[in-house]
Structure 1
């Protein structure tokens, strides 16, 4: 596999709308009660976005998910939310809780490698890279977890105890780290224990916190119990290392896109009710403009299939209104009358792929008089565009060469970098003036500050795109920014701003004290609400505590819009549309095998994991993905990874037979000379190797020699830790690599699937008898039909 490994992306909160698209998600952010990007209601910079009660109707905000693969480098959890005391006009003291809990994740962003004509990676050329940080702020306190004991906990917390999580009976305690060793005792289901080092699929038993063991186990002189237990049958219970302090993880703990970060915490401002809210932020301390320049240069050398963004230009294209009867047999024509598009917009390919079949048409013009054949794609797009007057328009868009263009996300098309100019007092004075909150004297006193902010980069850029100043009064207000976010073309422009300024999480007392006169209710008299707010800002800060261990700067960073950035990269790398594939497979499930259990949620989850890992593999290894090869892989996995006792499909723990079957190929336990010789020839030379190197994974990796070869290829010690081959993150790459190389049958998959023909039956002959060959071939044909609807994999072999 290539050393370069791109990161996966996910939204922090999934959409509640099954057919939502990234541009809709951007407009939903306008419903937040506050916390817009790139500025807040007070006119000051705001580097993140808020998910609060206003966005809850559109997003599943039950838990916070990591937006990209990376490593957790720091976190803080409140034991109980701190409380600010504000005195209002009655006077009355308002106690306002506010979560300071956060998680900080470090990521590495890097384009895919360049490829030679033979698909090998070009030597000596390293893609540019950027270190990114994602921040998740205002998270649930420890009291909240204690009040909800069944609430899932983040994996990066320290695991302090485990519960025996067997389905029926208890959990065996073995003398050694293997099922083949003597059984010492049995822990009851639900027993709480602590464990030590893990060896293979077993962990050393240390102590029993609650529950029983029959027979009882005696501790040694150091207080540790004897024996080992199966790790997979334990449910971990984790807790934070400390409370109310920043926990800095020197080495970082790996985390995947979509993994649990935490749950929304409680936050209350002085002038509003308490609400559950999360602030999500994405920033970098690197030289972002330099990285973008290098990334654009690199993208110019990437293949066309990396260009997953369609750009539509203001004044160049038109939308042709839909009428009854329009379809593949009666398509729209470019010569038809339409409305001129009055805005620029970049559309992810997956938005187009996700349109209903009735909303996408391809029209092919046959060759004529020496002119080659041509194909035009038509997309029916509703709710995305406006005409030159700003009025929304719907209809059919033709993708035309020279009129529309294709781009890679690594081109950062439309993104612009801007740097802070001036001080917070200038922006606040400008915002107050725009809202009519300054007296005549204050307008005069702060005239210079207002004038500076009026010429600042965000205002200038906003006017350039006519984003927000809708009433043309020369003043930019937060209400106008919120209104702009409801329109896809304006929301996208705002989402493409990358702004550099001092982070709000960097405590700078002088910066905030400078605002005191402007916020004073009376000259020379402190504003008590503002004084309490400054105390809150200081308590929320954390930047300085990470500066030394992680080389953070003096608080200045480049900020990206989280949702816009995730959308650009999340929608650029999917070979298979995961949810559409699952939907198609579910609808055809009964056709795959008669008298099988229903397609359960467990099986759906297994299939979803496999699909996502296949997407990851082919993105990391941009080789030609052939539809027929994928169909055969799915058919094989469907057959070999069926866990009969539970009825789980695509299981990583399939039923593989009783121990006598494994002994069949054990050098000492085999009953025939032929089996003993075959075992030795394949590397099984020690007693127990038959069971130790049994078939695991989606396409059973078997024999010690094959485990050794997988170790050499992937750099993971499958020989000493063979159970790792059953983990989906390893079994999916093993399946693809093994089939393409011929590990399982001695012949590469391309021997049976190539330009000369597709022979699923012969591909199985060395493995199964005729009945099974026909069964799996039938599966493959059904998977072909699903992949044609849900995948960009090619059918031809000469790409």
Structure 2
């Protein structure tokens, strides 16, 4: 508990808690990178998408408006698609379909193509932040539903063929896969055993002790990879309810199995019964030894669209399934097809009401506080700092430089560090300052030499902005900027951040420069709810037949007779709002040699340029979904197919089988009745709402639970031996999760310099300070369990007080103050002065209402702000911890001198080790 007070800094606005009204959509990109690391830069996705053959947004390779994006064989080189598709935002599954097996399409020349009709449809609720100072219930029109669609998911056969492939947790049946721990008995002595798998047994018998069961007799065998549904369980034994995949055979290799050797709950043959062989009752599959099985998930229903009775909640990043197959004619084979083309179609859409929601959202964003603006907008025409200013000093000119110690206001990261040069005084041998502090290159600070260049002022200055100017608007999330390489980030003495970013000039040339976080001309910060750069473009006026004709012209695949006839169609499409918008985007992109024509090749090239990729992805496309609507628009293309008409008719069959819209509408509340919707680019959506979340909380909880009892353990006192603890309780785990969410919200998501060691020491402090030993609950705010009399002795100023002078110095000067201001929260703040100091920080008068320090919101703010800003004792985390070193022993002075400092340090080191695996 804090032992002294320190004047509080200026008042801070009280933040909203993570579990409260959602002010930001929690998002995750659908895949990690090829090294299985989280991606924060959306350009990595645009680069990956440029490697695919089709599925471009908002115009497909066939020239039709296209509301989604494709991930496939091309993008697999840049993204880890092997681990499955992740949900892009918190939401709930409202419909899904899993093919039993991929359907096959046979073209007129006999070739076969497999394709998936499976999908997962997730509904997400967007709720804009409430109006400032508004305490009334938020109006309904301040929320709106959007849907993410994951189309062409893997079939059930794929999972059965690869039992180790991860399956979605939300599948509603717990099943078991047979491992290869047993082996069939050989047919004769000396023969090798048969297949690997698991023996099937008759009913296990109860043992003498409660809960013990002995094996029955072997009656069958399930080969490795078979899947079963288990019903009743007795100890380690499970009763087979259903064999979901595979089939049962004899326990002896080549032996007879049941009547007619059928893989069904059997009636034993006369020969087997006469031989005295063990059998199960009629219709009974038998029992399995559960340690020989692996728990897996199975879908309850396959082969048709399922609308769950109650939506299934899912979090951003949740596995939704594996990518399925989608083969076009070019990849069709003469024989029934094998896997040749994995493909995911991912899209996000909303009904027409989203237009009004977007308008109101932008109005609300303008009313919100500046500290909620997390998107840096660089306008077209903005100039950046191209070059670092020339150094104006050389160290050691008058004296040899012996040391360069960082100043207190020097940033702990970035290419430059502010230092105080020192030299050794000849007469005394003392180190004395060699002039005022200067800036030097960080990688040279450890070994300063005479003649080292230095800067009297920070090397990046706004007055040095210069041509060339940015030719296109560019938007960066704070998460994206903070993920840049360390050499491309800098911090000046005023705590202003600088980032070196690439941009595109008006004449199509690549350039880069430094942009800063404050007062940079031509830049501004925007709230995600302003949806900067997004623009609704209506493409419903584009006739599909006209689009097809135009595409034949621009790809030069129309014959000489068609070119003249198709020209009016091309003009009509080119004059549509969508094509005019895209022409503006790709017109200056010459790398494809398209002279501004909007073709697939030009769009691929544009996706590799951040500003152009961003412009295309910020289109909100209003168009009829390909998963619904009338087939007449597709049928109208048939006369144009020439000698490919037969195969096109087959494709029409496929298009019809892929349409699921009518099977969902009317069954899912709020789902659009019509298939004309607004399509939002999934990558652009995630990038817009990207947070600076740093810690994988779910992974951390898993790692910590394993380490809690023995590795961390518990010390009764600083000198006592460590002993083991019971497993982490459910309440303690819930507390730890909430604590991490608060640390993320208050520190990791907002801090200028994120240091994982800060988090480690916060967790170590909370683990000891907020341990309620009466309930053995960790990590939760609680009130010190102390009697009134003891509190008055320890903290009071009355006649029984042990140190009334100290109590009065901490403003405990009234009878009862010792008990009233006893320890509370996550760090057990004591003394009235501390409660007064934190009153402006939390926005609640803690001196009058000390129990308010027990709420999660206030307890977390007290701990995080108090440790970072030095409110408890005047010592703060940065006094002991930086990016190079952590004095966890000394850091105890932030809270309470040296009490148990060695124990706190041990826990902090252990937390740091776990955290490093989770960022």
| TM-score, structure 1 as length reference | 0.68
**Inter-CA distance 450–625: structure 2 relative to 1 (3 Å threshold):** closer
Does 2:550 align with 1:491?
Answer: no
Q: Which moved more, 1:627-636 or 1:245-254?
A: 627-636
Does 2:771 align with 1:757?
Answer: no
| Post-superposition offset of 1:160 | 4.0
**Distance between the aligned counterparts of 2:713 and 2:742, measured in 1?**
33
Does 2:371 align with 1:310?
Answer: no
Q: Name the structure 2 match of 1:715.
A: none
Q: Name the structure 2 match of 1:69.
A: 90
- Greater Cα radius of gyration, structure 1 or 2: 2
Q: Name the structure 2 match of 1:724.
A: none
Q: Name the structure 2 match of 1:405.
A: 524
Q: Name the structure 2 match of 1:720.
A: none
**Inter-CA distance 494–203: structure 2 relative to 1 (3 Å threshold):** farther
SS in 1 for 2:112: strand
- Partner residue of 1:340 out of 469, 476, 490: 469
SS in 2 for 1:300: helix
Q: Deviations over 1:157-195 (max 9, x none)?
A: 221435899xxxxxxxxxxxxxxxx9533699x997746
Correspondences of 1:349-364 after superposition (within 5 Å):
349-364=478-493
**Contact 2:507–2:588 (Cα < 8 Å) also in 1:** no
Q: Name the structure 2 match of 1:727.
A: none
**Inter-CA distance 785–310: structure 2 relative to 1 (3 Å threshold):** farther
Q: Which moved more, 1:627-636 or 1:6-15?
A: 627-636
SS in 2 for 1:757: coil
Q: Name the structure 1 match of 2:636.
A: 514
**Inter-CA distance 466–61: structure 2 relative to 1 (3 Å threshold):** closer
Q: Deviations over 1:333-390 (max 9, x none)?
A: 33445533222211111222223333222334xxxxxxxxx66432223xx3122321
Correspondences of 1:9-408 after superposition (within 5 Å):
9-16=27-34, 18=37, 21-62=41-82, 63-87=84-108, 92-114=109-131, 116=133, 122-126=135-139, 128-161=142-175, 183-185=210-212, 194=230, 207=239, 236-272=295-331, 274-321=340-387, 327-328=416-417, 329=439, 330=455, 331-336=459-464, 339-364=468-493, 376-381=496-501, 384-401=502-519, 402-408=521-527
**Distance between the aligned counterparts of 1:698 and 1:192, measured in 2?**
41
User: Gaps (5+ residues) in structure 2?
Assistant: 1-16, 180-208, 216-223, 244-279, 333-339, 392-414, 418-438, 440-454, 715-727, 786-823, 830-850, 877-888
**Distance between the aligned counterparts of 1:243 and 1:79, measured in 2?**
5
SS in 2 for 1:342: coil
| Post-superposition offset of 1:305 | 1.9
**Distance between the aligned counterparts of 1:357 and 1:376, measured in 2?**
15
Q: Name the structure 1 match of 2:561.
A: 441
| Post-superposition offset of 1:327 | 3.1
| More RCO (CA 8 Å, sep 6+) | 2
Q: Name the structure 1 match of 2:572.
A: 452
**Distance between the aligned counterparts of 1:278 and 1:103, measured in 2?**
11
**Contact 1:37–1:48 (Cα < 8 Å) also in 2:** yes
Q: Deviations over 1:652-696 (max 9, x none)?
A: xxxx9xxxxx9xx9xxxxxxxxxxxxx8xxxxxxxxxxxxxx535
**Inter-CA distance 187–29: structure 2 relative to 1 (3 Å threshold):** farther
Q: Deviations over 1:66-112 (max 9, x none)?
A: 1111111111111111111123xxxx421111111111111111233
SS in 1 for 2:57: coil
Q: Name the structure 1 match of 2:904.
A: 776
**Distance between the aligned counterparts of 2:296 and 2:912, measured in 1?**
43
**Distance between the aligned counterparts of 2:229 and 2:783, measured in 1?**
34
Q: Deviations over 1:494-518 (max 9, x none)?
A: 1100011110011522111111112
**Contact 1:26–1:491 (Cα < 8 Å) also in 2:** yes
**Distance between the aligned counterparts of 1:613 and 1:196, measured in 2?**
37
| Post-superposition offset of 1:546 | 0.4
**Contact 2:173–2:300 (Cα < 8 Å) also in 1:** no
SS in 2 for 1:446: helix
Q: Name the structure 1 match of 2:776.
A: 695
**Inter-CA distance 276–428: structure 2 relative to 1 (3 Å threshold):** same
User: Gaps (5+ residues) in structure 1?
Assistant: 166-181, 212-218, 365-373, 597-602, 642-655, 657-661, 666-678, 680-693, 705-733, 792-799
Q: Name the structure 1 match of 2:793.
A: none
**Inter-CA distance 756–352: structure 2 relative to 1 (3 Å threshold):** same
| Post-superposition offset of 1:19 | 8.3
**Distance between the aligned counterparts of 1:99 and 1:448, measured in 2?**
37
**Distance between the aligned counterparts of 2:310 and 2:713, measured in 1?**
51
**Distance between the aligned counterparts of 2:467 and 2:27, measured in 1?**
37
**Distance between the aligned counterparts of 1:139 and 1:101, measured in 2?**
5
**Contact 1:319–1:393 (Cα < 8 Å) also in 2:** no
**Contact 2:175–2:298 (Cα < 8 Å) also in 1:** no
| Post-superposition offset of 1:764 | 11
**Inter-CA distance 768–161: structure 2 relative to 1 (3 Å threshold):** farther
| Post-superposition offset of 1:316 | 2.0
**Inter-CA distance 160–134: structure 2 relative to 1 (3 Å threshold):** same
Q: Name the structure 1 match of 2:673.
A: 553
- Partner residue of 2:662 out of 531, 544, 547: 544
**Contact 1:512–1:534 (Cα < 8 Å) also in 2:** yes
Does 2:495 align with 1:481?
Answer: no
**Inter-CA distance 568–195: structure 2 relative to 1 (3 Å threshold):** farther
**Inter-CA distance 310–784: structure 2 relative to 1 (3 Å threshold):** farther
Q: Deviations over 1:132-175 (max 9, x none)?
A: 1111111111111111122222122221435899xxxxxxxxxx
Q: Which moved more, 1:390-399 or 1:121-130?
A: 121-130
| Post-superposition offset of 1:23 | 2.4
- Partner residue of 2:627 out of 483, 501, 505: 505
SS in 2 for 1:278: strand
The number of equivalent residue pairs is 635
**Inter-CA distance 163–426: structure 2 relative to 1 (3 Å threshold):** closer
Q: Name the structure 2 match of 1:527.
A: 645
Q: Which moved more, 1:355-364 or 1:302-311?
A: 355-364
**Distance between the aligned counterparts of 2:761 and 2:667, measured in 1?**
49
Q: Deviations over 1:584-631 (max 9, x none)?
A: x99xx9xxx9999xxxxxx9xxx9999986675578899998999966
**Distance between the aligned counterparts of 2:898 and 2:210, measured in 1?**
42
- Note the aligned Cα RMSD (angstroms): 5.3
| Post-superposition offset of 1:33 | 1.9
| Post-superposition offset of 1:38 | 0.8
| Post-superposition offset of 1:489 | 0.5
| Post-superposition offset of 1:65 | 1.0
**Contact 1:417–1:497 (Cα < 8 Å) also in 2:** yes
| Post-superposition offset of 1:287 | 1.5
Q: Deviations over 1:252-282 (max 9, x none)?
A: 1111111111111122100236311111111
**Distance between the aligned counterparts of 1:196 and 1:764, measured in 2?**
54
